[in-house]
Amino acid sequence: MGKVIISIVIWVLFGSCIQPSSSARILAVETVGGKSHWNFMKGILQALVNNRHNVTVFTPFTDGNRENYTEVDTTLGGAMRFMDMDLNQMKISMITKIGNFVAMSRMQCDQVYKNSKMKEILNSKRTDFDLLIIEFFASDCVSYIATVLNLPLIYVTPLPANALMDRTITGHVSNPSTVTEMFSLHSVSKTFIQRLAHIFLLIRFKIVKEYKELFLKYTDPKHYDLIKPISPSLVFVNRHFITDAPSPIPTNVINVGGIHLKEPRKLPKDILEFIEQSPHGVIYFTFGSTIKMSSIPEHIKKVLIEAFAEIPQRVLWKYENKLEKIPKNMMIKKSLPQLHPNVKLFISHGGISGVYETVDAGVPVLGLPLFGDQHRNIDNLVNVGMAISMDLMFITRDNLLRNILELFNNEKYTKNAETASKVFNDRPMSQAESVVYWTEYILRHKGAQHLKSHALNLKWYQYYLLDVLSLYLDLFTFNPQRTDLSDNPLLRIVMSIWICGIPRQSIAVYATSLTPPNSICSSISEWITLHFKQSFNFQDVFTNPILAAALSMYINSESKFMISGILDLIVSTIKCRRQIRLSLDLVSTKWFQ
């Protein structure tokens, strides 16, 4: 009996220190030096640590090691933090910076790979890690670690919609008529002009990204360019359908928007008294950690202060410097905690972290978007009916005051915000539980390759069916003089299938004879060889440029960039057109006599 008691005591004392056999060793890398990016990654890693998994993370934001959690400071290797930036630096249109994102992403990869601890891990090529979690921004150079160490890969993306990543990491592109790009001014394209502008933005993103990536690989080659990148098994996205337009998503994309949210901390005494002693409620005003409030033009600061002085509510303003002559209803602090129940209005630039905080709290928003995804984020809240959006650079005292009073006096904004909060928090499992379940799912199924879409295996023109479309256009539209096809629609369909990837010999055999395929394969081969020697009109290549381009890509499937292969395009098109003609002649003479 005594031995049993001793055993129980030992188990109680030490059992909790024993790791469960299913705990995994996870390597994580935060490549982007933005605080909101890190907050999202940190929320994911914290969920895994709380479930007894061991995490080693490379990050520019260190909080200190703790049980099951080890940090490696990447700022020692040159990694930068993007915090407290001047507003004037962000005035340039983000559309003009698209190419810079690829260069910046590669630079961030370089900074991580130069870290001595990371070099040690990569050079060993043997690791005890079971999984890699890393943020993808604009370049697949981040997958290099998973390739070298042969680890399952999970991408983390704190941005809800990004054309720089969709096709690359999932194989799919969201429908541009229903889902807008990250830098769009609108969350949904509601008019023809908006759809037109969004299509232009999307195409520009694609072209500039591909060109910049190719340019850098040849002008500034890196070691990770020598290894073919791999696609992720899973993608955790900072998205939720109440703060982002609903859209179809691939199987391996998991929405965990708002995972960074925490239980409210105890407020400092002076802030708590300031909030609780306000009978009309409090306005919470912050631009997050990226932009310095002191960089706002002086005339705009004056407008803000004058408008705040005329309202009965108190204003909490996150401001890193001192302001002279502020009204009595204002408090300035360098940092502010999360929202308090007495906060009745949130004035925000529309950063995604702040958006989830205000939706979770059920508070209306006055949006002053500045750059990046902020316009789109605020527009999502406007569509929900809980926000009003304004342009900070054209703000006036009167319109600011009018919008503040509208948000306070019109109950629909508060009711819509409360409804949005209920919808946001109504889910079958928490964000943390989703992260744990799907991470362990990837581990249980050895990378879960079955979750990856076949779209990743397709060339871009195959994905958009341009090769198929071009053939149909040629057969049905561009050659009205081709009388041998006009009365045989079945023939057109058969030949379209034959050209576009079905085993060619078998289709040709069935199209030319009712006899078993093996009996005439040799005769078809001889006939095609003979037909290639006949004369061909060179001008036919240029009569149908769409057909020429698509079919040349079909022949040269590895030639992704046609500019470098004009001669191959012409030669391939001649052969392909010749192949089409001889096949059509063959079928029409032997089957439809």
From residue 234, alpha-carbon distances to 28, 257, 445, 567 in Å are 14, 15, 12, 41
Strand partners, 237: 157, 255
- Which pLDDT value is given to residue 540? 46
CATH topology of domain 269-425: Rossmann fold (3.40.50)
pLDDT band at 82 (very low <50, low <70, confident <90, very high): low
In this structure, of 129-133, 266-270, 470-474, 495-499, the range with the lowest mean pLDDT score is: 495-499
SS3 assignment for 171-217: CCCCCCCCCCCCCCCCCCCCCHHHHHHHHHHHHHHHHHHHHHHHHHH
Q: Which amino acid is at 532?
A: F
- Alpha-carbon torsion (466, 472, 475, 477), positive or negative: negative
CATH topology of domain 24-260+432-456: Rossmann fold (3.40.50)
pLDDT band at 95 (very low <50, low <70, confident <90, very high): low
Average pLDDT, whole number, for the chain? 76
- Which pLDDT value is given to residue 35? 83
Cα Dmax for the chain = 101
- Which pLDDT value is given to residue 362? 93
In this structure, of 386-390, 440-444, 542-546, the range with the lowest mean pLDDT score is: 542-546
More confident call, 196 vs 51? 51
More confident call, 129 vs 567? 129
Sort 406 into a burial class: Cβ within 10 Å, 0-12 / 13-18 / 19+.
middle
Dihedral (C-alpha) 307, 326, 355, 391: value to the nearest 10 degrees? 40
CA distance 176 to 472: 24
Reported as a single tens digit per residue, the pLDDT across 21-68 is: 478 999 999 988 888 889 999 999 999 999 999 999 999 888 888 999
Q: Closest by alpha carbon to 61, among 260, 224, 223?
A: 260
- Which pLDDT value is given to residue 590? 41
Q: Which amino acid is at 408?
A: F
pLDDT band at 358 (very low <50, low <70, confident <90, very high): very high
Reported as a single tens digit per residue, the pLDDT across 483-516 is: 444 444 444 444 444 444 444 444 444 444 433 3
Q: Specify the domain boundaries for CATH 3.40.50.2000 within the chain.
A: 24-260+432-456, 269-425
- Which pLDDT value is given to residue 442? 96
CA distance 339 to 361: 7
Q: Decide if pLDDT at 18 tops 50.
A: no
Q: Closest by alpha carbon to 119, among 76, 177, 180?
A: 76
Phi, psi (degrees; rounded to nearest 5) at 352: -65, -35
- Tell me which H or E stretch contains 48: helix 35-50
Reported as a single tens digit per residue, the pLDDT across 149-160 is: 999 999 999 887
From residue 551, alpha-carbon distances to 402, 536, 556 in Å are 60, 17, 8
pTM for this structure? 0.76
Average of pLDDT values for 347-373? 91
Query: Quick check: 181 and 98 in contact, CB under 8 A?
Result: no
Average of pLDDT values for 92-104? 68
- Which pLDDT value is given to residue 85? 59
- Which pLDDT value is given to residue 572? 46
Strand partners, 332: 317
